[in-house]
Amino acid sequence: MVIATGTRNPDHDPAPSLRRLHTGLQAGGYTPDTLQRLLGITRPDDVGPLNHAPACERIRSDRGSAATLVRLFFLEEPETAARIASALTPTLCAELVTFGLLRKRNGQLTAQLRIDAVEDQYFLADRRFQRIAVSALRLSGGDPVYPPSSDSLLLREAVNAPTARRVLDLCTGSGVQALRHLPTAEHITAVDLNPRATAMARLNAAFNGADRVDVRRGDLYAPVRGERFDLIIANPPFVASPYSNGPAYHAGGGRGDRVLRRIIAGWEGHLAPRGRAFAITHCALRAGEPIEGVARSWFSRFSGRALVLVLEEGTAVDLAAAQSLFALDRGLAAYAREVRRWVTHLRRLHFQTVALLLIIAERAVPRCMEVVDAQPRVLHLPLTPSTADRIATWLG
Ligand SMILES: C[S@@+](CC[C@H](N)C(=O)[O-])C[C@H]1O[C@@H](n2cnc3c(N)ncnc32)[C@H](O)[C@@H]1O
């Protein structure tokens, strides 16, 4: 099969091709259910640096359309033009090359951006397993755009504001929070500091058929001065990282709440009466330091109700181990050095645990703030007799 590779035409609008790609991905079976069926995962970041290779192996010999699209857009692996054309049609495949979403390399095509399927929507973002491809789809430079991840989906699922007409998504990144409200909201505003993120969020609005998402570039509330909203959502950079020069989506200062504090401080002035706010964050804590004390300081000037749900707690070493995974492509020694660096940093600040929190607030009386432990409880295992007990029983 011959695939026209097209010449890039930077003046051409990519929106119609993205709409055709949306249809093609759905028709080709690239859905969250497919990812669960083929890879056994429920969250996009269930595949990370440690299990990327086994995930590729699981579907290596599967020549179906869904597997082709998963390999290309989710696992970020090269694919033959013939297989992509068969999954998406030759014309669409050529268009994606023209726009620089697909690029020819060593006789195969690679996706320059990843695509995540979230419910029935699709989100372009920068790649997890490959270097950032700066000029794909006419995007400008800037920091990498955060792909929808567990924290994104947790927040997206948690937001409960069915009657919200005016929605503000702070720190929008790919736009994964904002676009969830397309079916119900009248006006959606999405803000991000990173020019690449605002460009990506606009592309994702077009990708999902939305022409009424108002994407603005700026620092938190600066682009919405004087405006009030029925719903404010925020997934800010919240990692208690030793790096201050990393990507804009990542570090949240010493404790992780540097941006979150400013977000909460703006709720009083930007929420309409009975307006609701939802945010997700990490919060690093010292030995014996209760979350209540830290949370109270966030809400000192908020006159409504607030609920802080503790979703998960881990140690400083757990955070270091998870955050250092990116160093694995430089080898195990580099990974070990990175873990050490994170642990040293957190210990220097005396942080012992890190909590994952979901914050919910409503501009309504009575003024109150509650912290609730919402960590899933597990039954003590084993429920059946242990192997040793079985052997002992069999032996009599
Ligand atoms: C963790 S990502 C969240 C992306 C997306 N909302 C999600 O849920 O997947 C955080 C985003 O916050 C943006 N950001 C960081 N500081 C900001 C600020 N002061 N004002 C606006 N956006 C900011 C980053 O550029 C990044 O896109």
This model's pTM is above 0.85: yes
Domain contains 93: yes
Domain contains 9: no
Max Cα–Cα distance, the chain, nearest Å: 81
Report the SS3 class of residue 70: helix
Q: Do residues 261 and 355 both lie within one domain?
A: yes
Q: Do residues 287 and 193 both lie within one domain?
A: yes
CA of 360 to the centre of ligand 1 (A): 18
Q: Do residues 101 and 171 both lie within one domain?
A: no
CA 220 to ligand 1: nearest atom: 20
Q: Do residues 52 and 183 both lie within one domain?
A: no
CA 280 to ligand 1: nearest atom: 8
Q: What is the CATH number of the domain that holds 196?
A: 3.40.50.150
Report the SS3 class of residue 358: strand
Amino acid letter, residue 23: T
Q: Do residues 54 and 88 both lie within one domain?
A: yes
CA distances from 255 to 60, 239, 291, 354 (A): 42, 8, 12, 9
Q: Do residues 269 and 356 both lie within one domain?
A: yes
Domain contains 381: no
CB of 204 within 6 A of ligand 1: the answer is no
Q: Do residues 124 and 227 both lie within one domain?
A: no
The domain of 53 spans 15-130
pLDDT of residue 381: 58
Strand partners, 285: 353
pLDDT of residue 321: 92
Alpha-carbon Rg of the chain, whole angstroms?
23
Contact 24, 92 (CB under 8 A): yes
Angle at 23 between CA 22 and CA 24, to 5 degrees: 90
Find tokens 């409880």 and name the residue.
377
Domain contains 389: no
CB of 259 within 6 A of ligand 1: the answer is yes
C-alpha 299/C-alpha 308 separation (Å) is: 11
pLDDT of residue 1: 37
Closest residue to atom 7 of ligand 1, CA basis: 152
C-alpha 396/C-alpha 21 separation (Å) is: 65
CA distances from 279 to 72, 141, 159, 235, 296 (A): 32, 27, 9, 6, 15
pLDDT of residue 15: 92
pLDDT of residue 378: 63
Q: Are strands 229-234 and 213-217 parallel, antiparallel or unpaired?
A: unpaired
CA of 146 to the centre of ligand 1 (A): 8
Q: Would you call 317 exposed, middle or buried from its count of C-beta atoms within 10 A (0-12, 13-18, 19+)? A: middle
Q: Would you call 267 exposed, middle or buried from its count of C-beta atoms within 10 A (0-12, 13-18, 19+)? A: buried
Domain contains 240: yes
Domain boundary among 82, 101, 130: 130
Q: Do residues 324 and 281 both lie within one domain?
A: yes
Q: Do residues 185 and 293 both lie within one domain?
A: yes
Domain contains 378: no
CB of 236 within 6 A of ligand 1: the answer is yes
Q: Do residues 277 and 323 both lie within one domain?
A: yes
Q: Do residues 57 and 181 both lie within one domain?
A: no
C-alpha 388/C-alpha 396 separation (Å) is: 12
Number of domains in the chain: 2
CB of 142 within 6 A of ligand 1: the answer is no
pLDDT of residue 3: 36
Q: Do residues 101 and 203 both lie within one domain?
A: no
pLDDT of residue 140: 82
Closest residue to atom 18 of ligand 1, CA basis: 219
pLDDT of residue 384: 64
* pLDDT of the chain, 396 residues: tens digit per residue: 333 334 445 457 899 999 999 999 999 999 999 999 999 999 999 999 999 999 999 999 999 999 999 999 999 999 999 999 999 999 999 999 999 999 998 899 999 999 999 999 999 999 999 999 988 888 988 899 999 999 999 999 999 999 999 999 999 999 999 999 999 999 999 999 999 999 999 999 999 999 889 999 999 999 999 999 999 999 999 999 999 888 899 989 989 999 999 999 999 999 999 999 999 999 999 999 999 999 999 999 999 999 999 999 999 999 999 999 988 889 999 999 999 999 999 999 999 999 999 999 999 989 999 998 888 766 655 556 666 676 677 777
Closest residue to atom 10 of ligand 1, CA basis: 249
CA of 171 to the centre of ligand 1 (A): 3
Domain contains 121: yes
Most informative mutation of 193, 213, 278, 282 for ligand 1 (most atoms within 8 A of CB): 193
pLDDT of residue 380: 59
Domain contains 186: yes
